[in-house]
Amino acid sequence: MKVLITGFTPFGGESLNPAYEAVKLLNNEIAGAEIVKAEIPTVFRESIKCLEEIIEKEKPDIAICIGQAGGRFEISIERIAINLDDARIPDNENNAPIDEVIFEDGENAYFAKLPIKAMVNEIIEEKIPAAVSNSAGTFVCNHLMYGLLYLIDKKYPNMKGGFIHVPFIPEQVVNKRNMAAMALDDIVKGLSCAIRAAVENDEDIKKTGGTIC
Amino acid sequence: MKVLITGFTPFGGESLNPAYEAVKLLNNEIAGAEIVKAEIPTVFRESIKCLEEIIEKEKPDIAICIGQAGGRFEISIERIAINLDDARIPDNENNAPIDEVIFEDGENAYFAKLPIKAMVNEIIEEKIPAAVSNSAGTFVCNHLMYGLLYLIDKKYPNMKGGFIHVPFIPEQVVNKRNMAAMALDDIVKGLSCAIRAAVENDEDIKKTGGTIC
Amino acid sequence: MKVLITGFTPFGGESLNPAYEAVKLLNNEIAGAEIVKAEIPTVFRESIKCLEEIIEKEKPDIAICIGQAGGRFEISIERIAINLDDARIPDNENNAPIDEVIFEDGENAYFAKLPIKAMVNEIIEEKIPAAVSNSAGTFVCNHLMYGLLYLIDKKYPNMKGGFIHVPFIPEQVVNKRNMAAMALDDIVKGLSCAIRAAVENDEDIKKTGGTIC
Amino acid sequence: MKVLITGFTPFGGESLNPAYEAVKLLNNEIAGAEIVKAEIPTVFRESIKCLEEIIEKEKPDIAICIGQAGGRFEISIERIAINLDDARIPDNENNAPIDEVIFEDGENAYFAKLPIKAMVNEIIEEKIPAAVSNSAGTFVCNHLMYGLLYLIDKKYPNMKGGFIHVPFIPEQVVNKRNMAAMALDDIVKGLSCAIRAAVENDEDIKKTGGTIC
C-alpha cells in the first residue's frame, strides 16, 4: 500500500509550516505502507494542480494533506470540505478570492474518505490531544482538501483521502501571548498514529466526535 | 413580506435558551416585514417536523432559525449546514445519533440562502459583535438548519432561509468561569439588524468573512 | 456617607474607557451614600496626584477606582496592589517604567480595604458575572490602586478603598475576534451592586474566591 | 553552588504533577551548580515545613519551587507571593482555608529573589514559551512560594529563591477540550534555562515583562 502525505509551504508571515516540518520527519514506512512525501504551495488553484500531478505520478492508495491551524490546541482530523473560497488574508501568490466556488461541477461539500474517529482514537491512545473538526476554514487548507475529495469523486474512486490540521509548534508562539502549541515531536507521533489508523481501518469506528456548535 | 423566526427550547442543563428569549422580544414588524415567531423543540427529527408544519401553515418568504452557541463571543451567521448528526450530548428526548445522515436524498451540505455578509455588516454597524461561522456543529442546530435548507431545496424553492447562533446571556455564565456572554438586549438588537438585512438584500455584499482554519 | 468613584481616561488606542463611561452613568446616591465621580488620567504618578487632590477636597469615606481590563470576562474586584510599575505599553504621557518601585516607603503590597467577597456576591446575585482578581497587573491600574492604599495606610486610616476592573464594552470588540465584552448597562448595574455592598458591609463575608494559579 | 529544586505531588484529581515529573528529569549539574531535588506535598503548612527541613539540611544557595498551573500556555516565572490562603479546592489533606494569613509576622507580599526577566529571556532564547506572572494564585503554590520568601526574609538572608509555574503536559489534556499543554521535554529544557539564568545573573536585566491587567 502507498500513502501520500503532503504539507504546505509557510504562509501568513511564519518562517516555517509545522505541517511540512512534521511530514519531513515521518518514517518512510508506517504500518507496512510506503509513505510518499510532498510539499504543496499555499496558493489557491496551484495547490490542487500540484497535488493532482503527484497523485497522477504516484498513484497512492491513500492521500492525506496536512496543514497548519494556528490557535488550535490539538491535532484535528477534518470531517468535511466545502465548495467555497473566502480568504481572510492573501495566499502566497497574493490571491484573495471572496465567496468563490472551487469547482462548478462539484458537490456543495465532500466528507473525508477516511476513518476519522479511528484516527482520533489512535492518536489519543498515544496520549496526544486530538479531535474531529467540522470546519477546515475557507482558506487554502479547505481548498486543497476539497480539491482532493473532488478528484477522488471524479477521477480516483478507489483512492481514500482527507485532511489533518496541526497546531503551531512552540517556537512559533514565543512572541504570541496565550497561543496554543504542540511539540513537533508529538505532531510527528500523532500523524504517524493517524496514518496507521487510516491504513488499518476500512470502516470507521462508532464513537461520538461531534460538537454542539 | 413574512419572516418566520424560530428559537429552540432550553437544553444541556440550561434553564433558558437565549435564542428563544430573544425571539420573543423581537418586534412584530421589522423593515416592513411581518415577523412570525415559533419555539422549536431541541430534538432531532421532531425539530424539523415542527418547522415544516409551521412553514406549511405560515408560508413565510424567509425563515431564520436561531440557536444557542455557548462559548461563542459574537452573533454568528451560519454559512453552511451538513448532512450529518453526531451528538456529543443527548437531545431533549434522549436521542444521541452518531454519524447518521439526516436525509438520504439530500446534498452533503447546503449553503444558507441568506445574504450572510450583509447581515454581519448590519449588526456590526450597530456596534454589536458578529461574524460568519463556517460550522453550525453536528447537534440539533445543524440538524434543523440542514432540514430547513433541504425543505427549501426540495419543496419551497422560492423561500429563503438560514440559521443564526447567539452567545450565552450573562445570567447563564455567572457560575461558569471565563465564558463569553452577550446581553439579551444586544442579541435582540443584533437579530433585528440581521432580519432587516435579510429582508432588504436580494444579493449578498462582497466582503471577506472567511477563516484560515 | 460619601463614596468617591473614579474612572480612567481612554488608553491603548481605545476611543473610550468603559470604566469612566460607567462611572458617569452611576446614580448620585447608592444605598443612602452620596456618590462623587471623577475622571483620572491614565498616567503614572499624575494619576495618584490627581486622586490625592480629590480625596483631600472631598474627604470621602470610601474611594473605589475603576479601570478597564480588556480581555476579562467579568467584573473583577481586585484583592491586592503591588509596589511595582512594569509598563508593557506607554501610558498617555509616554512614560513606560520598568520594574520601578512606586513608593520607597510603602509596603511590598497592600490588600484592598473593601469587603471584596461581599461585593462579588452582590453582583452575582444581580446575575452579572463577577469574580475576585488576585492581580491588577503592573500598569497604571495597579499603580493607582497601590497609590490609593498607600494613602489610606499613611494619611487616611479611616478611609476604605480599593479597585474594580471592568471588561471591554461590545462596541470596543466588534473588530477584535474572540474578545470578551460586557454591556455598559450591566457594568453600571454591577458597579452599583459593588458600591452598595461596600457601603453596607463593615466585615467581609467568608466565601472562597481563590484561584489555584 | 547548590540549587534546590522542588516539585509538588499530584493534586486536583490529576495522576501526576508535571512539576515534579520535570524536576526528576533535570540534570544533576546545571551551569556548574549542583542540583538537589525534592518532592513537596500539596498541603498547606506541611509544604512549608517540609521545605524548611530540606533547606536546613541542604543549605542551598538558591531554592526554586516548581508547581503546576493548569491552563497556562507558557512556563511562568512568578514575580510575587501574597500573605493569604484562599482555597478554591481542598488540598491533599482536605484543608480549604479561606482568606487566612500565612504568617502573622510576614509582609503583605514578597517579591521573588530571582532574576526573573533574565530567566524568561533565557527560556525564550531556547524557543520555549515563557513569561513573568504577577500572581501565583491563592492555593498551595502561592503558599509555598510565600513560605520560601518568608524564610529567606527571616532566617536565610543570603539565599535566593522563587517559584516557577509549568503548564499541563499533553497526556493530562487529552480529555480536556481546548486546554493548553507543553511537552515534558520542553518543560525540562525550559526549567534548565531558568536555573542557568538564576545561577549566572546576580542582577536582573531591564526588560518589560508587565501586564496591563
DSSP letter for each residue of C130-142: EEEES---SSHHH
Q: Looking at the domain assignment, is residue A105 inside a domain?
A: yes
Q: Which amino acid is at A196?
A: R
Of D73, D131, D186, the CB nearest to A183: D186
Mean pLDDT of A181-195: 98
Output the domain CATH number for residue C173: 3.40.630.20
* Confidence band, pLDDT 50/70/90 cuts, at residue C120: very high
Give, for D51, the enclosing helix (H) or strand (E). helix D46-58
Q: Is A88 on the interface with B (CB under 8 A)?
A: yes
| B73–C173 C-beta distance less than 8 A | yes
Tens of pLDDT along C22-53? 999 999 999 999 999 999 999 999 999 999 99
The mean of the pLDDT values for chain D is: 97
pLDDT tens digits along A50-65: 999 999 999 999 999 9
Per-residue pLDDT, A202: 92
pLDDT bin (cut points 50, 70, 90) of residue A170 is: very high
Which chain D positions have a beta carbon within 8 Å of A182's beta carbon? 170, 181, 183
User: Helix crossing, D184-200 with D18-25: angle to 10°?
Assistant: 70
The yes-or-no verdict on residue A124 having pLDDT over 90 is yes
Please name the helix (run of DSSP H) or strand (run of DSSP E) that holds residue B30, with its range, or none.
Answer: strand B29-30
Residue D182: its pLDDT value, please? 98
User: Is the pLDDT assigned to residue C112 strictly greater than 90?
Assistant: yes
Q: Which residue has the cell 509551504?
A: A9
CB pairs under 8 A between A and B: 126
Q: Quick: pLDDT tens for C97-110.
A: 999 999 999 999 99
Contact C117 D99 (CB under 8 A): yes
Compare CB distances from A174 to D129, D174, D181 and report the shortest one's residue. Answer: D129
- With contact defined as beta carbons under 8 Å apart, do C12 and C139 qualify? no
Domain range holding B15?
2-200
Q: Which of C99, C111, C164 to mutate to test the interface with D (most CBs of D within 10 A)?
A: C99
Q: Which three cell numbers stand for residue B155?
A: 419543496
Chain D, nearest residue to A122 by Cα: D174
| pLDDT tens digit sequence for D109-145 | 999 999 999 999 999 999 999 999 999 999 999 999 9
Which of A130, A173, A183 is closest, CB to CB, to D183?
A183
In a domain, A209, yes or no: no
Which candidate from A70, A87, A165 shows the least CB-CB separation from B210? A87
Question: Is residue D213 one of the residues assigned to a domain?
Answer: no
B contacts of C171 (beta carbons < 8 Å): 127
Q: How far apart are CA D137 and CA A30, in angstroms?
A: 46
Residue D158's SS3 state is coil
Q: Mean pLDDT across the stretch D19-26? A: 98
Record: contact A109-B82, CB cut-off 8 A = yes
**What average pLDDT does this structure show over C161-187?**
97
- Inspect the interface and report whether the beta carbons of B210 and A82 lie closer than 8 Å: no
Say what percent of chain B tops pLDDT 90: 98
How many other C-beta atoms are found inside a 10 Å radius of the C-beta of residue B154?
Answer: 11
Q: For residue B132, list chain A residues with Cβ-Cβ distance below 8 A.
A: 86
Kindly identify which residue of chain A lies nearest to residue B80, measuring between CA atoms.
Answer: A82
Contact between chains at C170 and B182 (C-beta distance less than 8 A): yes
- Suggest the residue from B99, B145, B168 to mutate for an interface test with chain A (most A CBs closer than 10 A): B99
DSSP letter string over A28-97?
SEETTEEEEEEEE-S-TTHHHHHHHHHHHHH--SEEEEEEE-TT-SSEEEE-EEES-B--SS--TTS---
CA distance A69 to chain B (A): 6
Give the CA diameter of chain A.
Answer: 45
Domain count, chain A: 1
What phi, psi does B71 have (nearest 5°)? 105, -20
| Catalytic residue flag (residue D141) | yes
D85 at A interface, C-beta within 8 A: no
CA–CA separation, A51 and A144 (whole Å): 8
Band the pLDDT of B56: cuts 50, 70, 90.
Answer: very high
CA distance B159 to chain C (A): 31
List the one residue out of D117, D129, D9, D14 whose CA is nearest residue D65. Answer: D9
Could you tell me which chain D residue has the CA closest to the CA of C206?
D98
**Structural domain contains residue D205:** no
A113 touches chain B (CB under 8 A): no
DSSP secondary structure of D76-134: EEE-EEES-B--SS--TTS----SB-S-TTS-SEEE-BS-HHHHHHHHHHTT--EEEES
D59-75 per-position pLDDT tens digit: 999 999 999 999 999 99
What nine digits make up the cell of A196? 496507521
Residues of C in contact with B181 (CB under 8 A): 73, 129, 182
Which subunits have 3 or more CB–CB pairs within 8 Å of chain C? B, D
A213 occurs within a structural domain = no
C128/B170 touch (CB, cutoff 8 Å), yes or no: yes
**Mean pLDDT on C69-76:** 98
Among C residues 154-213, those touching chain D with beta carbons less than 8 Å apart: 165, 204, 206-213
How close, in Å, is residue D18 to chain C by CA atoms? Answer: 14
Q: What percent of chain D stands above pLDDT 90? A: 98
Q: Which of A99, A117, A133 to mutate to test the interface with B (most CBs of B within 10 A)?
A: A99
The whole-angstrom separation of Cα B20 and Cα B41 is 11
Bridge partner list, A65: A6, A163
Exactly one of B78, B122, B143, B193 is catalytic; name it.
Answer: B78
Residues of chain B with C-beta less than 8 angstroms from the C-beta of C180: 73, 180
C70 to chain D: closest CA residue: D213
Residues of chain D numbered 2-41 and touching chain C (CB < 8 Å):
12
In a domain, C134, yes or no: yes
* Residue C213, pLDDT score: 85
Q: What percent of chain C has pLDDT over 90?
A: 98
Burial of D118 (0-12, 13-18, 19+ CB in 10 A): buried
Residue A126 has pLDDT above 90, yes or no: yes
Active site residues of C: 78, 141, 165
| pLDDT at residue C191, as a whole number | 98
Query: Model confidence at A48, in pLDDT bands (50, 70, 90)?
Result: very high
Percent of chain A with pLDDT over 90: 98
In sequence order, which residues have a C-beta less than 8 Å from that of residue B74 and are 6 or more positions away?
Answer: B128, B129, B130, B131, B167, B182
Residue D207, in any domain of the structure: no
Please indicate, yes or no, if residue A155 is contained in any of the structural domains: yes
Q: pLDDT class for B37, splitting at 50, 70, 90?
A: very high
Please tell me the distance in Å from B105's CA to the nearest CA on chain C. 37
Chains touching chain D at 3 or more Cβ pairs under 8 angstroms?
A: A, C
Q: CB–CB of D118/D205 below 8 Å? A: yes
Mean pLDDT of chain C: 97
Q: Is the pLDDT of residue D213 over 90?
A: no
Query: Which residues of A belong to the active site?
Result: 78, 141, 165
Terminal Cα-to-Cα distance of chain B (whole angstroms): 37
Average pLDDT over residues B10-22: 97
**D78 labelled catalytic:** yes
Q: Measured between alpha carbons, how far is D126 from B58 in angstroms, rounded to an integer?
A: 65
Query: What DSSP state is assigned to residue A167?
Result: P
CA distance readout (Å), B30 to B3, B5, B84, D20: 9, 12, 33, 62
- Chains near B with 3+ CB pairs less than 8 A apart are A, C
Distance from the Cα of B176 to chain C's closest Cα (Å) equals: 9
Q: Which pLDDT value is given to residue A213?
A: 86
Q: How many CB pairs under 8 A join B and C?
A: 53
Residue B213 predicted with pLDDT over 90:
no
